[in-house]
């Protein structure tokens, strides 16, 4: 009888925690402990920022230091405990403390689940003390840079909570594991394993990893600072500017107002539009800007030009549609909301749920497409869809030219057989979870329309934020039942990690010798 891929019962866990187990649990535990400790330190920094950044009377000024003390204390205690357990296992074990692909997969999958739970502590222990499912949903939406909110009145929340929402999105935009690699990864191999498994930087050049990662984080910080200053000059208060800068460069979408960015002036929205486009493009392009010739940039970063081509085509189609239909929607609003959707930022300027069937169909396609690999955007990524289309075209040609040599290329690089397998694995899993997720949400939320359930699942898988119908740009996820909120939270993490890093946690071959 062939061995099942997934755990079948308690007996399958026998020997899992023995020191001769295939997974080095000392490395995993220590890595998870450091990640949680970093998150606890970030909570302190977020609280300090909320206390010192000036704000107007439009928002509550409370900090709830007691609740933050509890949240930080639990996070630090959990982080220290995991680190000490890992250190103790390391002393008892006989193997070297190295991180191989198995350990990297375990750290990525478990790490994102664990940090999502830890990030929920402030929502639980600070005002307004929301239920567990709401806290986990909002925390997961933050760290995955999705931007879907389960709160209906964020303007009544303490400013410390608003700052924490924005901070989690800023961390998740580049990837919390990217911080881990830059700060603490001493091994190029282990760092490459971590970042290669984490989706926010898939497709980026991982040669000289730590140096590359540091440069990208410097670039990320520069974009954050410049966008913050520009938003402040454009008319936002310092508190609004800081919060929106954090969620803008991460293309994530949380804000400080109940109406997203609708009430902001055209100057503020113009700044946001520019930075959504900047951060929806592959960050390695900026690193190579002054190093490569234009011809080399055109060849190597072909995906970027496809991204702008798809976006331009969609904008022309939508503008013509609205002009012919006489909907009265301004061209600027069409451009802003379309860019917000394709970069999976999730800011809302108008009600695109009223754009008609054609308009919404175009936006659905852009939700699936997303931004570029190596950017902070979500979705399937433009490069992956271009490769899929080229592979399909190549196979169609093979039907009448079977001897023709076929290679799938993008950016001057050919995709090998393993790469083609990974490509179709992600695309297939996206389709699978879109269908299954819609069926599950339809059964859990019987009062929700099919369009509402389908678009909510699509939005969470692509890390977009707002969807259509009951979850449209003028709505939120506050009416979702607790079980439905947990399902959507899992879908956000699956989409953020591009499925594999979570699913392999349920494979017993990851944990056993073979």
Instruction: Tell me, yes or no, whether 88 lies in a domain.
Output: yes
Taking each helix axis from N to C end, the angle separating 238-249 and 209-234, rounded to the nearest 10 degrees, works out to: 140
Phi, psi torsion values for 410, nearest 5 degrees: -155, 130
The candidate with the shortest Cα–Cα distance to 336, out of 245, 260, 238, is 260
The range of the structural domain enclosing residue 186 comes to 12-204
What is the spatial distance between Cα 154 and Cα 150, in angstroms, rounded to a whole number?
10
Q: Is 158 strand, coil or helix?
A: strand
| pLDDT confidence of residue 93 | 61
Instruction: Tell me, yes or no, whether 54 lies in a domain.
Output: yes
- Distances in whole angstroms, Cα of residue 335 to Cα of each of 147, 326, 350, 475: 20, 16, 11, 21
Owner of token pair 């989409």: 495
The candidate with the shortest Cα–Cα distance to 137, out of 456, 430, 366, 380, is 456
| pLDDT confidence of residue 194 | 58
C-beta separation of 154 from 162 below 8 A: yes
Instruction: Tell me, yes or no, whether 84 lies in a domain.
Output: yes
Taking residue 510's Cβ as centre, other Cβ atoms within 10 Å add up to 17
C-beta separation of 248 from 166 below 8 A: no
pLDDT averaged over 10-residue windows placed end to end, the chain, 514 residues: 39 41 81 92 94 74 85 97 90 65 84 95 94 97 95 91 96 74 50 53 52 84 97 95 96 94 96 97 86 76 93 98 94 98 96 96 97 91 92 87 78 81 92 98 96 97 96 95 97 91 83 58
Instruction: Tell me, yes or no, whether 446 lies in a domain.
Output: no
Provide the domain count of the chain. 1
Instruction: Tell me, yes or no, whether 26 lies in a domain.
Output: yes
What is the spatial distance between Cα 307 and Cα 204, in angstroms, rounded to a whole number?
16
Taking each helix axis from N to C end, the angle separating 266-279 and 209-234, rounded to the nearest 10 degrees, works out to: 170
Paired tokens of 328: 């009265």
DSSP letter string, 92-157: H--S-----HHHHHHHHHHHHHHHHHHHTHHHHHSTT---HHHHHHHHHHHHTT------S-GGGS
Owner of token pair 């439009």: 58
Calculated CA dihedral for residues 379, 384, 390, 396, nearest 10 degrees: -70
What is the spatial distance between Cα 497 and Cα 183, in angstroms, rounded to a whole number?
21
Radius of gyration, CA atoms only, the chain: 23
C-beta separation of 232 from 146 below 8 A: no
| pLDDT confidence of residue 17 | 41
State the Cα angle at 93 between 87 and 99, rounded to 5°: 70
Instruction: Tell me, yes or no, whether 503 lies in a domain.
Output: no
Answering whether pTM is above 0.85, one says: yes
What is the spatial distance between Cα 230 and Cα 412, in angstroms, rounded to a whole number?
37
The gap between the terminal CA atoms of the chain, to the nearest Å, is: 16
Instruction: Tell me, yes or no, whether 273 lies in a domain.
Output: no
- For 343-367, letters b (16+ CB in 10 Å) and e give bbbbbbbbebbebeeebbebbbebb
Instruction: Tell me, yes or no, whether 468 lies in a domain.
Output: no
- Distances in whole angstroms, Cα of residue 208 to Cα of each of 187, 213, 299, 406: 11, 9, 22, 32
Report CA 21 to chain centroid distance, whole Å: 32
Paired tokens of 7: 């755990």
């Amino acid at each position: 009888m062939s061995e099942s891929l997934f755990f079948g019962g308690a007996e399958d866990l026998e020997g899992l925690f023995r020191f001769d187990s295939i997974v080095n649990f000392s490395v995993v535990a220590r890595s998870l402990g450091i990640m949680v400790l970093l998150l606890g330190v970030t909570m302190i920094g977020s609280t300090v920022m909320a206390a010192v950044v000036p704000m107007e009377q439009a928002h509550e000024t409370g900090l709830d230091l007691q609740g933050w003390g509890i949240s930080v204390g639990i996070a630090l205690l959990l982080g220290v405990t995991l680190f000490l357990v890992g250190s103790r296992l390391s002393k008892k074990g006989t193997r070297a403390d190295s991180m191989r692909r198995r350990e990297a997969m375990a750290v990525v999958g478990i790490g994102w689940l664990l940090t999502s739970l830890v990030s929920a502590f402030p929502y639980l222990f600070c005002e307004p003390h929301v239920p567990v499912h709401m806290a986990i949903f909002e925390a997961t939406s933050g760290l995955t840079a999705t931007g879907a909110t389960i709160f209906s009145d964020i303007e009544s929340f303490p400013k410390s909570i608003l700052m924490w929402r924005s901070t989690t999105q800023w961390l998740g935009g580049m990837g919390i594991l990217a911080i881990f690699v830059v700060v603490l990864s001493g091994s190029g191999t282990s760092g490459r394993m971590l970042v290669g498994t984490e989706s926010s930087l898939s497709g980026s050049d991982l040669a000289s990893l730590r140096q590359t990662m540091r440069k990208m984080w410097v670039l990320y910080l520069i974009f954050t600072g410049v966008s913050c200053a520009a938003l402040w000059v454009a008319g936002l208060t310092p508190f609004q500017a800081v919060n929106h800068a954090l969620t803008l460069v991460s293309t994530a979408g949380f804000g400080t107002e109940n109406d997203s960015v609708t009430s902001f002036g055209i100057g503020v929205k113009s700044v946001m539009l520019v930075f959504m486009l900047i951060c929806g493009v592959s960050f390695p392009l900026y690193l190579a800007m002054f190093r490569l010739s234009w011809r080399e940039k055109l060849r190597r970063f072909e995906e970027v030009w496809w991204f702008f081509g798809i976006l331009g085509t969609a904008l022309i189609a939508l503008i013509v549609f609205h002009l012919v239909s006489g909907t009265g929607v301004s061209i600027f609003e069409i451009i802003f909301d379309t860019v917000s959707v394709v970069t999976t930022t999730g800011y809302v300027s108008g009600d695109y749920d009223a754009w008609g069937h054609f308009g919404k169909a175009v936006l659905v396609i852009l939700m699936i497409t997303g931004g570029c690999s190596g950017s902070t955007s979500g979705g399937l990524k433009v490069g992956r869809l271009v490769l899929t289309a080229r592979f399909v075209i190549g196979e169609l040609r093979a039907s009448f030219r079977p001897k023709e040599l076929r290679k799938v290329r993008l950016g001057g690089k050919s995709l090998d057989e393993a790469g083609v397998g990974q490509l179709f694995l992600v695309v297939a899993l996206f389709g699978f979870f879109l269908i299954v997720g819609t069926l599950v949400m339809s059964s859990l939320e019987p009062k929700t329309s099919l369009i509402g359930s389908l678009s909510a699942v699509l939005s969470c898988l692509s890390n977009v934020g707002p969807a259509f119908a009951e979850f449209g740009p003028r709505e939120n996820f506050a009416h979702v039942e607790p079980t439905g909120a947990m399902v959507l939270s899992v879908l956000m993490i699956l989409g953020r990690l591009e499925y594999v890093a979570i699913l392999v946690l349920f494979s017993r071959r990851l944990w056993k010798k073979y």
